[in-house]
Chains A and B, each alone.
Chain A
Amino acid sequence: MLALALAITVAGCAKQAPATQAPTPARAAPTTAGSSDSTPAATYGPGALSVPNADPYPSTYKPFPSKPTLIENVTIFTAVGPRIVNGALLMKDNKIAAVGKGADDPAIKQAEGGEAPVVIDGAGKFVTPGIIDVHSHLGVYPAPAVESNSDGNELVNPVTPYVWAEHSIWPQDPQFPRNLAGGVTTLQVLPGSGNLFGGRSAILKVVPARTVQGMKFPGAKYGLKMACGENPKRVYGNRGGPQTRMGNMAGYRAEWIKAEAYRRKWDAWLKTRKGEPPTRDLGLETLAEVLRGNILPQMHCYRADEMAQVIDMSHEFGYKVRAFHHGVEAYKIADLLAKEGIGAAVWADWGDFKMEALDAVRANMALLWKAGVKVMIHSDDPSGSQRLNQEVAKAMAAGRAIGLNITEEDAVKWMTINPAWALDLDSKIGSIETGKDADVVLWSGDPFSVYTHTEKVWIDGALLYDRSDPKAQWRSDFELGFVPDETTGGTQR
């Protein structure tokens, strides 16, 4: 039993771990002196070692069954170039097989072959890549939002880089199917923002599954949730601190110092693998992985001045913030963010709900875009996440209102390829390009109109949402019996 478990874990590691540093394979066990019976020698599992890119809870996601599908006569926003009017898109073997001007485009013809594709007439309709929400709490703050389900903020200590969001995520959260219906195909689920170091994020494909492993995006890097400003102060001000913004900074720095020492100790040991390995520390391990560049810091920060402090701190310790989240004042330091190559994941128009949100402006995204920052919409909200296209529409309108010439092609990037970049997944998702995962949304019209709906959503080429077929729509276990079944059109639950 133990051996079997070990074998599976190791197989998962080998398959999933990126190749930067070889994960520790099943290793020669220390010999048990004097043992003469047939009991297998005692081994230590991979959990005994702090190994870069270890993947102890590996993805078991497999694409759902799919048929080759051709959408034709459709307007395609590829997120990498100009729109294709009267375009055609072929999905096959979980990937985007071809994109062209029409069904007769040589590229399409060449990619066809074998099973005849399902053909969808997209006249008057639009296609975009699947939407990516880099700031979600689905599953860790599921619906119903009752105390027993509150699993997003480990508010026992301001420093909890040791928790992993995936160990809280409830795959039966009824918010998942609603997100999918809103065209969201990939989520970064983050721990909450009460702590300085909140824990690891999980990157998910928005698919029905019994386990979170069944949703995990294969090969995705982890993110580290960190938080600036009012929240840690509010939670810990009367519980031992931090009580101030300077206390926040001191709290991060003290931990980075420990993490750097931890990283050095382990990297030295991993070079030779001789002698007693150092003791693992789950929290420092996550931070060491940030210092090695294997985990991407996703930093909740509202105020411009605080973001600048965090940037200096990242220089002090030699890591890179991947994206500032919320960033309601990011427009004030757009030049700095552009220079540093740090992304900005922001709302279209949230503000005023607390002091650090006071200076929100609706042109935030547009001003960041103008400065050349990798800007993206995010939700932090299960309702807003279902309408990220509308949020982008608002942000685009705000930019145009101050005279910026933002095209719809530009704006599409804010919900697709740019968030894909923030997750370091832009080589796999986020655009309509041959060879990418076939995560695709078919819209009833222009995605930036308030009247437009998603009609169909594919993930890895599998049709997982179809507005015209309520019977085929995903309902989580929780919904059965509790939530009125819209397919009956009545109140039957």
Chain B
Amino acid sequence: MTSRTLYVMAAACAAAFIAPVSTLAAQTVAITGGKVYPVSGPPIENGTVLIKDGKIVAVGANITVPADAEKVDASGKWVTPGLVDAETQLGLVEVGFGAGANESRARSEQGITPDFTSWDGLNPRSVLIPPAREEGVTSVMSTPGGGLIAGQAAMIDLFGDTRAEMILRAPAAMIASIGDEGGDGAPAKGQQIAKLREILQDTRYYQKHVAEFDRGQSRQMPLNPGSLAALVPVLEGKVPLLINADQASDIQSAIDLAKEFGIKVIIGGGEEAWEVADRLAAAKIPVLAGAESNIPSSFSTLGARQDNVALLRKAGVEVALIGNGAGDESLFNVRNIRYEAGNAVGYGLSWNDALKAITQAPAEIFGVADKIGTLQAGHEANVVVWDGDPFEFATRAVAVYVHGKKQNDVSRQDLLTKRYEQLPPSYGKP
């Protein structure tokens, strides 16, 4: 048997496990006895989370559990909303490089592709989804990358086997970058910022003259009408512009841009954001940042420090945590977002704010707080039961529910581990 055949078999096997079991029958589940962290309110000792037909119907200390409910005893356990990672490439990238399995980048000469709807290439059967989900991550932003404007990102639930089932909101953000983040020999920052301004001005013109564009009677624009149309919701404040920027001066440019055009801006990366924390707070601009960066790895991140997030919170900035420590945290190790939260606590963020930064905050920032991010009646039943503090390495997710369905993931990594637990491995055994 060739190794290729083996691989194909393993992949096929994994896919069989990955497909979620969908049951049509109405289902009521009561998770009882645990310490419940709704995030939207204070923790509830001996609380109950009642789930019906995929939604949360009640959360509290004195909930009457219907007789037909499936009861899940969570005594001694911790119950939280499913975790949310605000910046990943899940579903878009299968292997980092050298495998042609990357759907996160649009091709263009100038690196400006606002019309790129990245989720059209989303793969619900990515083998990278189960490892994240089995450790409690139930929703992620799946974002395109590269260039000045990379395209549009979707907020997805790690649920289902079609895009329609997964997508919570699309577009949830337009992705842009200023500075070194632009990469690929990015032009001078002044040029990048001027270009962003020009594009937004052109979008404003387009917005007012759509009819002429439709008739082909408008002046020529550097961007095609499809790209300009994609930017209209940004100008209207319906879709936020996520600007990846690290250097304090570039973050200031983003603040200025938000004010000039009256648009919603989110800062991504933001390694020096703490230096302009007060101004970010005043402008109500949220920041997506990690808790493990402290290396002046470029001249745009000289001020990187691990208490960045804590300092931002202290100033009143809304923050969501993203993985930016070592090790593929946008793909293979999306599951590590809970350790990012733990490290943030180690560097001064309160425990409650850290949990919020990987649940409610990203849901609010990307406009899906009415569906996910907290344990509240009416929300999607994305719920995780932990056998301890979710931020600790020793803790495991003992049950993960997405849309009210218990996930029984067996990841490709689990299959490999199982195969090699005993040596020599059990090749060929039925």
Using CB atoms and an 8 Å cutoff, list the residues of chain A in contact with chain B. Answer: 143-146, 174-175, 178, 230, 234, 305, 331-332, 334-335, 347, 349-355, 357-363, 367, 371, 379, 381-384, 386-387, 390, 393-394, 396-397, 400-402, 448-453, 478-479, 482-484, 486, 491, 493
Question: Given A383-B325, A384-B325, are A349 and B343 also a contact pair (CB < 8 Å)?
Answer: no
Question: Could you tell me the distance in whole angstroms from the C-beta of B3 to the nearest C-beta in chain A?
Answer: 8
8 shortest interchain CB distances as A-B pairs: A450-B342, A384-B326, A353-B96, A393-B393, A352-B332, A381-B326, A383-B326, A350-B327
Q: Other than the known A143-B296, A331-B420, A379-B326, what 11 A-B pairs have Cβ atoms closer than 8 Å?
A: A146-B299, A334-B423, A352-B96, A353-B332, A360-B332, A361-B413, A390-B339, A393-B394, A450-B342, A484-B303, A491-B303
Report chain A residues within 8 Å CB of B425.
332
| A335 interface neighbour in B97, B98, B413, B424, Cβ under 8 Å | B424
Report chain A residues within 8 Å CB of B343.
387, 390, 450
Cβ < 8 Å to A, chain B residues 376-412: 391-394, 396
Q: Which of B65-73, B139-147, B224-232, B287-295 contacts A (4 or more CB under 8 A)?
A: B287-295
Question: Given A360-B413, A394-B393, A451-B346, are A350 and B328 also a contact pair (CB < 8 Å)?
Answer: yes
A450 contacts B339, C-beta separation under 8 Å: yes
Report chain A residues within 8 Å CB of B16.
none
6 contacts between A and B (CB under 8 A): A143-B295, A367-B420, A382-B295, A451-B391, A453-B346, A483-B303
Report chain B residues within 8 Å CB of A491.
275, 303
Question: Could you tell me the distance in whole angstroms from the C-beta of A170 to the nearest C-beta in chain B?
Answer: 13
Question: Given A361-B416, A384-B325, A394-B393, are A352 and B128 also a contact pair (CB < 8 Å)?
Answer: yes
Query: Which residue in chain A gives the minimum CB-CB distance to B304?
Result: A483
Report chain B residues within 8 Å CB of A144.
296-299, 302
Give A393 to B336 CA distance when docked, in angstroms.
Answer: 13
Give A448 to B3 CA distance when docked, in angstroms.
Answer: 38
Question: Could you tell me the distance in whole angstroms from the C-beta of B135 to the nearest C-beta in chain A?
Answer: 10
A450 contacts B417, C-beta separation under 8 Å: no
Whether B305 sits at the interface, judged by CB under 8 Å, is yes
Whether B333 sits at the interface, judged by CB under 8 Å, is yes
Question: Given A360-B332, A484-B303, are A383 and B98 also a contact pair (CB < 8 Å)?
Answer: no
Query: Which residue in chain B gives the minimum CB-CB distance to A182?
Result: B294
A349 contacts B336, C-beta separation under 8 Å: yes
B424 contacts A362, C-beta separation under 8 Å: no
Report chain B residues within 8 Å CB of A146.
298-299
A-B contacts at CB below 8 angstroms, number: 144
Whether B99 sits at the interface, judged by CB under 8 Å, is yes
Question: Could you tell me the distance in whole angstroms from the C-beta of A445 to the nearest C-beta in chain B?
Answer: 10
Residue with the greatest number of chain A CB neighbours at <10 A, chosen from B293, B299, B303: B303
Report chain A residues within 8 Å CB of B325.
383-384, 387
Give A89 to B145 CA distance when docked, in angstroms.
Answer: 52
Query: Which residue in chain A gives the minimum CB-CB distance to B414?
Result: A361
Question: Could you tell me the distance in whole angstroms from the C-beta of A370 to the nearest C-beta in chain B?
Answer: 9
Report chain B residues within 8 Å CB of A394.
339, 393
B393 contacts A361, C-beta separation under 8 Å: no
B394 contacts A354, C-beta separation under 8 Å: no
Whether B331 sits at the interface, judged by CB under 8 Å, is yes
Query: Which residue in chain A gives the minimum CB-CB distance to B342?
Result: A450
Report chain A residues within 8 Å CB of B302.
144, 482-484, 493
Interface residues as binary, B338-376 with A (CB distance below 8 Å gives 1, 0 otherwise): 010011011000000000000000000000000000000
A143 contacts B297, C-beta separation under 8 Å: yes
Whether B120 sits at the interface, judged by CB under 8 Å, is no
Give A493 to B299 CA distance when docked, in angstroms.
Answer: 13
Residue with the greatest number of chain B CB neighbours at <10 A, chosen from A354, A355, A382, A484: A484
Query: Which residue in chain A gives the minimum CB-CB distance to B248?
Result: A491
B327 contacts A384, C-beta separation under 8 Å: yes
Report chain A residues within 8 Å CB of B345.
450-451
Question: Could you tell me the distance in whole angstroms from the C-beta of A477 to the nearest C-beta in chain B?
Answer: 13
Give A482 to B331 CA distance when docked, in angstroms.
Answer: 33
A353 contacts B97, C-beta separation under 8 Å: yes
B393 contacts A387, C-beta separation under 8 Å: no
Give A359 to B425 CA distance when docked, in angstroms.
Answer: 15
Report chain B residues within 8 Å CB of A402.
417, 421
Residue with the greatest number of chain A CB neighbours at <10 A, chosen from B293, B346, B425: B346
A450 contacts B346, C-beta separation under 8 Å: yes
Give A174 to B412 CA distance when docked, in angstroms.
Answer: 39
Question: Could you tell me the distance in whole angstroms from the C-beta of A487 to the nearest C-beta in chain B?
Answer: 12
A397 contacts B303, C-beta separation under 8 Å: no
Report chain A residues within 8 Å CB of B21.
none
A363 contacts B98, C-beta separation under 8 Å: no
Give A234 to B97 CA distance when docked, in angstroms.
Answer: 11
Report chain A residues within 8 Å CB of B342.
450-451
Cβ < 8 Å to A, chain B residues 229-272: none
Give A453 to B275 CA distance when docked, in angstroms.
Answer: 24
Give A390 to B306 CA distance when docked, in angstroms.
Answer: 15
Whether B282 sits at the interface, judged by CB under 8 Å, is no
Report chain B residues within 8 Å CB of A334.
420, 423
Report chain B residues within 8 Å CB of A486.
305
Question: Given A352-B332, A361-B413, A483-B296, are A381 and B305 also a contact pair (CB < 8 Å)?
Answer: no
Report chain B residues within 8 Å CB of A362.
413, 417
Report chain B residues within 8 Å CB of A234.
98
Report chain A residues within 8 Å CB of B96.
352-354, 357
Report chain B residues within 8 Å CB of A230.
98
Whether B63 sits at the interface, judged by CB under 8 Å, is no
Interface residues as binary, B171-192 with A (CB distance below 8 Å gives 1, 0 otherwise): 0000000000000000000000
| B293 interface neighbour in A335, A355, A383, Cβ under 8 Å | A383
Question: Could you tell me the distance in whole angstroms from the C-beta of A403 to the nearest C-beta in chain B?
Answer: 9
B297 contacts A145, C-beta separation under 8 Å: yes
B394 contacts A397, C-beta separation under 8 Å: yes
Give A112 to B275 CA distance when docked, in angstroms.
Answer: 49
Whether B95 sits at the interface, judged by CB under 8 Å, is yes
B97 contacts A354, C-beta separation under 8 Å: yes
| B95 interface neighbour in A331, A354, A381, Cβ under 8 Å | A354
Report chain A residues within 8 Å CB of B97.
353-354
Question: Could you tell me the distance in whole angstroms from the C-beta of B229 to the nearest C-beta in chain A?
Answer: 36
B298 contacts A352, C-beta separation under 8 Å: no
Report chain B residues within 8 Å CB of A387.
292, 325-326, 343
Query: Which residue in chain B gives the minimum CB-CB distance to A401?
Result: B396
Report chain A residues within 8 Å CB of B332.
349-353, 360
Question: Could you tell me the distance in whole angstroms from the C-beta of A341 to the nearest C-beta in chain B?
Answer: 17
Question: Given A448-B394, A451-B345, are A175 and B275 also a contact pair (CB < 8 Å)?
Answer: no
A448 contacts B393, C-beta separation under 8 Å: yes
| B296 interface neighbour in A397, A400, A479, Cβ under 8 Å | A479
| B292 interface neighbour in A350, A383, A478, Cβ under 8 Å | A383
Give A143 to B128 CA distance when docked, in angstroms.
Answer: 31
Question: Could you tell me the distance in whole angstroms from the C-beta of A412 to the nearest C-beta in chain B?
Answer: 14
A358 contacts B95, C-beta separation under 8 Å: yes
Give A451 to B298 CA distance when docked, in angstroms.
Answer: 28
B296 contacts A174, C-beta separation under 8 Å: yes
